[in-house]
């Protein structure tokens, strides 16, 4: 509820500021005839729910599936040391008494970090590290520009590589350690930071496309993308630095 109130308040504040800044040559008046409100029929409610659910599953679902497949391929293959992960890990931990399961876990972790998606993630990690995120969350944020819903699917795909059980994904996320501060990566501070980022960021390509269509220009979509992303980054940064 607080997220919705925060977004609503930010929209009102933004509209007020833009109304003071932008010089509009002419004014238009919005006129609408209010209909007679009636209690909806249960049948109509059910039909609406089914139609909206189908629209989401076949609309956003296709995007999530396609991106998940691409991410899985990028996380399952890599150049150079990726193909020699087993030999490298065995040599690195040769003098430690590790079980077969622990060795396998180290191999999976090494492969993920040296995969194509790991290389991309480490390249953008310096930009998201001050927000309390690691390279995996960074990849999820970048991929969610296609649709916000992709964020969850991206993390699930990354953490499930080399694993077949859902419980293992949860355990892996709980075991993640902040590379700079130590301690759990997913904690109260990083959680609030992530929520604030998504509350303010222009995180949807379809929205940009609609704005471009309505304004018949790329100027306003680009303004929205950079300004809203900047505000989201600043607030997420401030929240994490205060709460950590």
* Residuewise pLDDT in 10s, the chain (244 residues): 888 899 899 999 989 998 888 877 777 788 888 888 889 899 999 999 999 988 878 877 777 778 778 888 888 888 877 888 888 887 777 777 777 777 777 787 788 778 888 888 889 899 999 999 988 898 888 888 877 888 888 888 777 765 555 557 778 788 888 877 888 889 999 999 999 999 998 877 778 888 888 888 888 888 888 999 999 999 999 999 999 8
With b for 16 or more beta-carbon neighbours within 10 A and e for fewer, the 18-50 pattern comes to: eeeeeeeeeeeeeeeeeeeeeeeeeeeeeeeee
Q: pTM value?
A: 0.73
Question: What are the structure tokens assigned to 139, written together?
Answer: 């990849």
Contact between residue 121 and residue 42 where contact means Cβ atoms under 8 Å apart: no
3-state secondary structure of 177: strand
CA distances from residue 188 to 3, 69, 137, 240 in whole angstroms, order as listed: 15, 31, 15, 9
Contact between residue 183 and residue 177 where contact means Cβ atoms under 8 Å apart: yes
- pLDDT (0 to 100) of residue 143: 82
Continuous H helices in 98-204: 100-113, 116-128, 135-143, 150-160, 166-175, 188-200
177: Cβ–Cβ under 8 A, 6 or more apart, which residues?
A: 183, 184, 185
Nearest Cα neighbor of 113 from 132, 131, 136 is 136
- CA–CA gap between residue 119 and residue 106 (Å, rounded): 17
Provide the terminal-to-terminal Cα distance of the chain, rounded to the nearest Å.
24
3-state secondary structure of 184: strand
3-state secondary structure of 85: helix
- CA–CA gap between residue 124 and residue 122 (Å, rounded): 6
- CA–CA gap between residue 18 and residue 6 (Å, rounded): 18
3-state secondary structure of 239: helix
Question: What are the structure tokens assigned to 244, written together?
Answer: 């950590």
- Give Cα 147 to chain centroid, integer Å: 8
């Amino acid at each position: 509820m607080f997220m919705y109130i925060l977004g609503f308040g930010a929209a009102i504040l933004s509209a007020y500021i833009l109304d003071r800044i932008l010089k509009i040559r002419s004014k238009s008046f919005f006129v609408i005839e209010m209909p007679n409100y009636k209690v909806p029929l249960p049948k109509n409610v059910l039909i609406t729910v089914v139609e909206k659910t189908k629209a989401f599953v076949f609309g956003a679902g296709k995007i999530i599936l396609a991106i998940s497949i691409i991410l899985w391929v990028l996380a399952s293959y890599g150049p150079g040391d990726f193909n020699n992960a087993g030999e490298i890990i065995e040599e690195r931990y040769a003098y430690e008494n590790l079980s077969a399961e622990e060795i396998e876990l180290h191999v999976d972790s090494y492969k993920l970090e040296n995969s194509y998606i790991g290389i991309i993630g480490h390249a953008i990690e310096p930009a998201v590290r001050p927000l309390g995120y690691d390279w995996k969350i960074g990849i999820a944020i970048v991929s969610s520009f296609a649709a916000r819903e992709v964020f969850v699917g991206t993390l699930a795909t990354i953490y499930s590589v080399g694993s077949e059980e859902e419980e293992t994904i949860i355990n892996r996320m709980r075991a993640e350690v902040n590379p700079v501060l130590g301690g759990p990566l997913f904690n109260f501070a990083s959680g609030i930071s992530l929520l604030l980022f998504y509350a303010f960021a222009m995180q949807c390509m379809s929205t940009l496309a609609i704005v471009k269509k309505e304004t018949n220009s790329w100027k306003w979509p680009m303004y929205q993308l950079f300004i809203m992303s900047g505000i989201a980054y600043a607030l997420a940064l401030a929240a994490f630095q205060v709460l950590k």
